[in-house]
Structure 1
Amino acid sequence: MVMFYSVLSQLTDGYLLLVIFLSAAYGLIIGAIPGLTALMASALLVPFVIFMQPIPAVAAIITASAMAIFAGDIPGALLRMPGTPASAAYTNDANGMVHRGKGAVALGAGLIASSLGGLISALVLSLAAPSLAKIALIFSSVEYFWLGVLGLSCATFVSGGSLAKGLVSLFLGLSLATVGMDPVSGIPRFSLGSPDLLGGFGLIPVLIGLFAVSELLRNAANPPRAEALPSISGPILVPSLINLWRHRLGTLRGGSIGTLVGALPGAGSDIAAWISYAVARRGSRKGRREDDIGASERIMSASAANNASLGGAYIPATVFGIPGDAITAIVISVMFIKGINPGPTLFLNQPEVIYTIFGIFFIANLALIPLGILCIRGFGYILRLPRAYVSAVVLMFCILGAFSVENTLFSVGLIALFGLLGYVMESNEIPLAPAILGLILGPMIEETFMTTMLKSRGDLSIFFDREIGAVLGIVTVAVWAGVVLLQIWPKKKLKSKPTG
């Protein structure tokens, strides 16, 4: 009881609440700018939080990252330019709803689902962190390999009507992932002698080019009519609550997937969003629909996974001191600097500190709803400006975002190159999403495959020797076999149908 009052007094401290509010506003602004990610928002905070007390310092990063993950949905929906990589999974669905006059519904659905997903992960983090962390530590390179290959199956679910074109896009992304240093031997590959390519193609420049710059090129080639401009007028909260009840199972499923994937070190919110989106698209009756109901189901499921993965990443970070992703790596560094040693002893020696951190998750995700609504309204005024001015400002932020990631003009050239590539791909109805998925998962699949082969001396049976690995392998093979059968079966059925 004494610890409860101690935690409550810290959570209601005026200075802490002010830090949370300011960090929330900062995270929303950074996340809504294409190319500026939640990771960047967290990294840029470090010079400031160093001078804070331990709890407010950690609270600032937790709040800013949670807000930035959601804010990435806003440019994705309004301008078809995902603000963060995690928002790319459902950009087309959200933008489609905006152009059908359902912008408030689309963004509200993502907002309420993001908040609920964060609350789900916070609840799991508070109640079951040690147990889930032990499960996460069981995973070896074998399990991560199968998890990556299983994630690639999402490409068949998000590729639209043509599996062949989806696979073309996927293999393009996997090919791009091979550029740079070999993850095992360290030998440069396909770098063309350029030192800028030794690190491979950065995800942010590729994402900005394929989605944002290609969209600007498409708008320039086919200027939209004034009356065709989207709008986000109308209520946000009430339709969001209605959608939450309608898609409650999908949202809970997305939050659960996000928490579990986030608890796996290195997985991250990007993979969680894609997996949850794919499950919603093919595993739910509503999610398979191509109308606003189906789109909102997919948006809510993936959005819940986005924010839930953030909380999930803190499970191995707080229990074992192992960062679940790059953001928690920053948090762990700050905690060490402030004299907080994450790990099992933290629960014994400083339980009020760890439970105060858990409580911050609840406050940040609850604050996301009112602040998110204000952010949606604020950025909605962008649509009232002339499109030419908006495009110029967006292009400026695209260049800024690409340059700020790698601090080279080479990355600015990359967004132009991939912008042209994205324009050509979409002109030929080749989906962009599988290419991004291949670029995200390619390095993990290659590294885990090569590491496993080195451990087993080339024996492929190792991929089925471990129990968890064998289960994941069988599920992965079954999923891919099912995809092929679903493509062949309708054709056979059509051929066998008698003609009248």
Structure 2
Amino acid sequence: MDAVLEGIMMVFSLETLVVIIVSALFGVFVGAVPGLTATMAVALLVPVTYFMDPIPAIAAMVTTAAVTIFAGDIPGAYLRIPGTPSSAAYVEEAYAFSQRGKASECLGVAMVCSVIGGTAGTLVLVFIAPYLAEVALNFSSYEYFWLAALGLSCAIFISPGSRVKALLSLCIGLFLSTIGLDMITGSPRFTFDVPDLMGGINFIPIMIGMFAIAEVMKFTATPATNLKVTVKDSGKVFGEVRPALRQHWRSVLRGSGTGSVIGVLPGAGADIAAWISYAISQKSSKTPEKFGKGHMEGIVEAGSSNNAAVSGSWVPALVFGIPGDSITAVVIGVLYMKGMNPGPAIFIDGGAMVYALFTVFFVANLILLPVGYLAIRAGKGFVATPPRVVMPVVLAFCIVGAYSINNSSVDIVLMLIAGVAAYGLAHAGFPVAPIILGLVLGGLLEKSFMTSMMRSDGNLMEFFSRPISAGLGILVIAIWVLPPIIRLFHKRPVTAA
């Protein structure tokens, strides 16, 4: 109980509360500007958190992620342009409401559902993560190898578009993770005699480049005109909240549960959760013909699901050190930087810090109500911000941020190379998230594999010698083998009897 109270007091200090409020305002602005993503917002905060204490630093990232995911609904409602990828799932519904002069009512319902979903995901984190940590304490290098393989496999199979392209993107990330000194022999690999690369590639400049520089290039390549919002709006933010929750409370619960479960899956995240929940809502609805024409049911379910996934994605990040999505991939680096090493031991050694982290999630979701209300009322000004004003500021943040990590100009070069590469890959239809996950998990995969091979004297069957390891191994192999087999059976012609 003393640790719980101490953790709560750490969050309700003046410094942390100011950081949460400022981060919420920053998240609102980034989410409301079309094209800027939650991952980009969190990546831009990394250099700033370098100078913060651990709890304010994590509070800044948690708050920014939660608020940005919701704020992406604002340009979707007013302009039919999703502010974040997760908002794209129900952008047609939100825009249809604005066409009827009810953009504020729609956004008010989405905001409340986001708070409910985020709180549900946080409860999953609070009650599930410690129990998983107890199990994870018995994990050896065999289990961690299969967990890393599971996270990489999920990143491929849930990526939109071609799985072959997702696999190739993943291979790029795994290659980047091998740069540096070999962990067994100590010999340099792919360093090209550059001393700064001996310690490996710092994934934070790569992250900033792929998610921020690539966006700057995209906007520069296709300059947008000044957006003028002329939609009529009643301004009644909470006008439809009570009727919507009373009528669609089952959808709220289902969306929160779906988002929490999907968030726990390594490599998934809010984008996948929103699309799946919207599809489930349409399939199970008694009035599916109303979807796409301004139907509240889809917004309620998908809106609660995406924020639930944001909280749920912290479960694998904290318990196993495996990113639940691209946002937690960024945050894991900050956790290491602040001495809060992700893994089961964090729940034993963390003490009050863990309870402070849990408290941050609740506060971050609740702060969304007042900040989100102000954002909805001022939404037309946010979405009309010209990209030519925003992008130079983003570029300056990127350069300063990449340099400040190690005070190295090499990191700036790596960031720019990563940005150009990500822009080209995205233009060719290659997803970027598997590259980041490959870079983050590649070291764990290699270390676990090499350690296991030395322990087993090269016997691969030892990877299946322990019950949990065998179960995880069978699950990973099934993920890879079953889809081709199912497709093969579906393609076989049915012969008449």
TM-score (ref. length: structure 1): 0.68
Deviation string 1:213-239 (CA, Å, 9 cap, x unpaired) is 2232232222235459999x8877767
Deviation string 1:351-410 (CA, Å, 9 cap, x unpaired) is xx9978866654444234333554677787454233222222221222222223332222
Q: Flag the 1:28–1:151 CA change in 2: closer, same or farther, 3 A.
A: same
User: What's the CA shift for 1:151?
Assistant: 1.3
Deviation string 1:470-494 (CA, Å, 9 cap, x unpaired) is 111111111111233355456x35x
Q: Flag the 1:414–1:219 CA change in 2: closer, same or farther, 3 A.
A: same
User: What's the CA shift for 1:464?
Assistant: 0.7
Who is 2:478 aligned against?
478
| 2:268 alignment partner, SS class | helix
Which AA in structure 2 matches 1:447? K
Map of 1:428-467 to 2, 5 A cutoff? Answer: 428-467=428-467
Q: Flag the 1:316–1:416 CA change in 2: closer, same or farther, 3 A.
A: closer
| 2:434 alignment partner, SS class | helix
Q: Structure 1 residue 286 and structure 2 residue 280: aligned?
A: yes
Which AA in structure 1 matches 2:17? F
Identity %: 31
1: CA distance between counterparts of 2:469 and 2:387?
51
Who is 1:321 aligned against?
none
Map of 1:315-464 to 2, 5 A cutoff? Answer: 362-374=362-374, 381-464=381-464
Which AA in structure 2 matches 1:304? A
Who is 1:307 aligned against?
311
Higher mean C-alpha displacement, 453-462 vs 100-109:
100-109
User: What's the CA shift for 1:431?
Assistant: 2.3
Q: Flag the 1:389–1:117 CA change in 2: closer, same or farther, 3 A.
A: closer
Who is 2:85 aligned against?
92
Q: Flag the 1:276–1:391 CA change in 2: closer, same or farther, 3 A.
A: closer
Who is 2:257 aligned against?
252
Deviation string 1:427-448 (CA, Å, 9 cap, x unpaired) is 2222222222222222221111
Who is 2:166 aligned against?
166
Q: Structure 1 residue 180 and structure 2 residue 180: aligned?
A: yes
Whether contact under 8 Å (1:114, 1:308) holds in the other structure is no
Q: Structure 1 residue 22 and structure 2 residue 26: aligned?
A: no
User: What's the CA shift for 1:251?
Assistant: 2.5
Map of 1:187-206 to 2, 5 A cutoff? Answer: 187-206=187-206
User: What's the CA shift for 1:469?
Assistant: 1.0
Q: Flag the 1:306–1:41 CA change in 2: closer, same or farther, 3 A.
A: farther
Higher mean C-alpha displacement, 210-219 vs 33-42:
33-42
Q: Flag the 1:36–1:275 CA change in 2: closer, same or farther, 3 A.
A: closer
1: CA distance between counterparts of 2:267 and 2:485?
26
User: What's the CA shift for 1:77?
Assistant: 7.9
User: What's the CA shift for 1:124?
Assistant: 5.8
2: CA distance between counterparts of 1:473 and 1:230?
56
Higher mean C-alpha displacement, 195-204 vs 116-125:
116-125
2: CA distance between counterparts of 1:168 and 1:149?
15
Whether contact under 8 Å (1:98, 1:106) holds in the other structure is no
Q: Structure 1 residue 274 and structure 2 residue 268: aligned?
A: yes
Q: Flag the 1:151–1:198 CA change in 2: closer, same or farther, 3 A.
A: same
Q: 1:69 aligns with which of 62, 65, 68?
A: 65
2: CA distance between counterparts of 1:111 and 1:182?
50
Who is 1:267 aligned against?
none
Which AA in structure 2 matches 1:215? E
2: CA distance between counterparts of 1:285 and 1:402?
39
Whether contact under 8 Å (2:130, 2:347) holds in the other structure is no
Whether contact under 8 Å (1:148, 1:441) holds in the other structure is yes
Q: Flag the 1:421–1:497 CA change in 2: closer, same or farther, 3 A.
A: farther
1: CA distance between counterparts of 2:185 and 2:298?
45
TM-score (ref. length: structure 2): 0.69
Deviation string 1:316-373 (CA, Å, 9 cap, x unpaired) is 99xxxxxx9666667778xxxxxxxx987999xx9xx997886665444423433355
User: What's the CA shift for 1:191?
Assistant: 0.9
Whether contact under 8 Å (1:179, 1:201) holds in the other structure is yes
Whether contact under 8 Å (2:42, 2:61) holds in the other structure is no
Who is 2:328 aligned against?
none
Q: Flag the 1:415–1:137 CA change in 2: closer, same or farther, 3 A.
A: same
Higher mean C-alpha displacement, 465-474 vs 107-116:
107-116
Whether contact under 8 Å (2:160, 2:431) holds in the other structure is yes
Deviation string 1:116-165 (CA, Å, 9 cap, x unpaired) is 4455445763x677644321212222112111111122233343332222
Q: Structure 1 residue 133 and structure 2 residue 133: aligned?
A: yes
1: CA distance between counterparts of 2:338 and 2:184?
28
Q: Flag the 1:230–1:151 CA change in 2: closer, same or farther, 3 A.
A: farther
Who is 2:327 aligned against?
none
Q: Flag the 1:64–1:35 CA change in 2: closer, same or farther, 3 A.
A: closer
CA RMSD of aligned residues (A): 5.1
1: CA distance between counterparts of 2:216 and 2:229?
14
1: CA distance between counterparts of 2:177 and 2:367?
38
Whether contact under 8 Å (1:94, 1:295) holds in the other structure is no
| 1:286 alignment partner, SS class | helix
Q: Flag the 1:257–1:155 CA change in 2: closer, same or farther, 3 A.
A: closer
Who is 2:326 aligned against?
none
2: CA distance between counterparts of 1:107 and 1:181?
52
